[in-house]
Structure 1
Amino acid sequence: MKALVVGASGATGQHLVTLLLSKNYNVKIVVRSTENLPISWKSNKNLEIIIASILDFSDEEMQELTAECQAIISCLGHNLSFKGIYGEPRKLVTEATRRLCEAVLSNKPQAPTKYILMNTSGNRNLDLNEKVSFPEKIVIALLRLILPPHVDNEQAAEYLRTEIGQQNKFIEWTAVRPDDLINNEKITPYEIHPSPIKSAIFKAGKVSRINVAHFMSLLLTSEGLWEKWKGKMPVIYNKK
């Protein structure tokens, strides 16, 4: 299997690529710079590094980028700086998701391409009756007004849910919703739920980035796990 990872230079993306390479996957990544990448990656024969901004690709280049990939994983996010939060592109995750999916649809692969979106537990899955308290609704409404990345995450998942849907013959998808992200260098026990079991606003749980990466890698290697979570938005927490 060949997997395309965008957002590979981020903390979760680096863990994911390392895990995929350890399983001898062929991996293609798109990064704006190789400066922060592990040195070992640059000599790995199973890794193709493309230096570019994902939204700068033409439609034809995007089709070529995705043509031989059986899986696409987006670990894209906004830098936690004023420019990263309020600067352009404000819809990085949504536009990348849309254009990558459109490229796959244009390529018409023989077997469905797996698309995994790293999302957030603060985003509701509107296919389910996920309970949100009135105070949470107020805070989320404020977040939509003052934090463009939150809206970007919501719209990216909504594109998959409504535009790609459940019956697309070229794309199958899942949107992984981690709770409050922390750093850890080792994989530890974690749990997966269809919906949040904690308040993402007032009492968020913790999950390590490497655990999120591990779960996403298992979605590619375990057909049973993929069948369970495709078309859904699983929430991940570290086990206590």
Structure 2
Amino acid sequence: MKSKTLKSTEGSEVTILVVGASGATGRLLVEELLNRGHYVIAIVRSPESLPNHLVDNLKLTVVIASVLELSDAELAQHVGGCDAVASCLGHNLSLKGIFGQPRRLVTDAVRRLCYAIKSSNSMKPTKFVLMNTTGNRNRDLHEPISFAQKCIIGLIRILVPPHADNEEAADYLRVEIGQDGQAIDWTVVRPDSLINNEKVTAYEVYPSPTRSAIFDAGKTSRINVAHFMADLITDADTWQRWKGQMPVIYNDH
């Protein structure tokens, strides 16, 4: 079963904390949420990485910090009052970014943010939307892969630390947070090979990959990922369809 999306209806204004907001997809998510009229708190290490037209938006609050360097109290303060948290964190594609510290950037951030959400004692569950990768399987479902792909993924897991980080971050939400929805409801978004497009195009969303991430990878534009993540946060029907799951998103060619 698939769902095909181009645009959605927005509900009332909400407040969203975005980490990884200065990244290639994070900036697009921040812009998409602001364009829909919502309030955004963006945690960034370098404010100059955000375009001026975003920084000048009165509904954007910029927190200049590394998410892992914030204290528990500071994180709880930023999370408090937020309806949703979105993570577009990833490792820079450089030797230092791939093999340097922190090796578990995404996982540690997810853990600490979830702890902060639980500490906030919100009256309703907070949405958590994590950007991940289609190379990571959803172990709650039967997602078979070939022996060759299994071998390659195993090598990548050992040799390329960011892949293991993505797996552990998703597994934390899937296993540790689970499906009880008392404090946190979550969705893990799995794009395939990321590309840059200027505009949102039609895209397709599936519960599991429909092609091999190694031998037959599809393409997913970053702006479509941002659009889908914004839909999850702001559109009730989209959220109900995908919460507690790891949807895969492909561009519709």
Shorter-chain TM-score tier: over 0.9
- Could you list the structure 1 runs, at least 4 aligned residues long, displaced by more than 4 angstroms after superposition: none
The aligned counterpart of 1:88 is 101
Choose the corresponding residue for 1:152, options 145, 148, 165: 165
1:225-240 superposed matches below 5 A = 225-240=238-253
Structure 2 counterpart of 1:16, one-letter code: L
Gaps of 5+ in 1: none
Q: State the alpha-carbon separation in 2 of the partners of residues 112 and 205 from structure 1.
A: 33
Cα distance per residue 1:146-198 (max 9 Å; x no partner): 10000000000000000000013110000000000000010011000000001
1:44-55 superposed matches below 5 A = 44-55=57-68
* TM-score for both structures, normalised by structure 1: 0.99
Structure with the bigger RCO (C-alpha within 8 Å, sep 6+) is 2
The aligned counterpart of 1:180 is 193
The aligned counterpart of 1:211 is 224
Matched length: 240
Q: State the alpha-carbon separation in 2 of the partners of residues 190 and 119 from structure 1.
A: 17
The aligned counterpart of 1:73 is 86
Q: State the alpha-carbon separation in 1 of the partners of residues 90 and 199 from structure 2.
A: 22
Q: State the alpha-carbon separation in 1 of the partners of residues 191 and 230 from structure 2.
A: 14
The reply to whether residue 29 of structure 1 matches residue 29 of structure 2 is no
* TM-score for both structures, normalised by structure 2: 0.94
The aligned counterpart of 2:11 is none
The aligned counterpart of 1:197 is 210
Gaps of 5+ in 2: 1-13
Structure 1 counterpart of 2:43, one-letter code: V
The reply to whether residue 136 of structure 1 matches residue 149 of structure 2 is yes
Q: Secondary structure at the match of 1:115?
A: strand
Percentage of matched positions with identical amino acids: 57
Cα distance per residue 1:9-47 (max 9 Å; x no partner): 111111111110011101000000012211112221100
The aligned counterpart of 1:20 is 33
The aligned counterpart of 1:106 is 119
Choose the corresponding residue for 1:6, options 10, 19, 22: 19
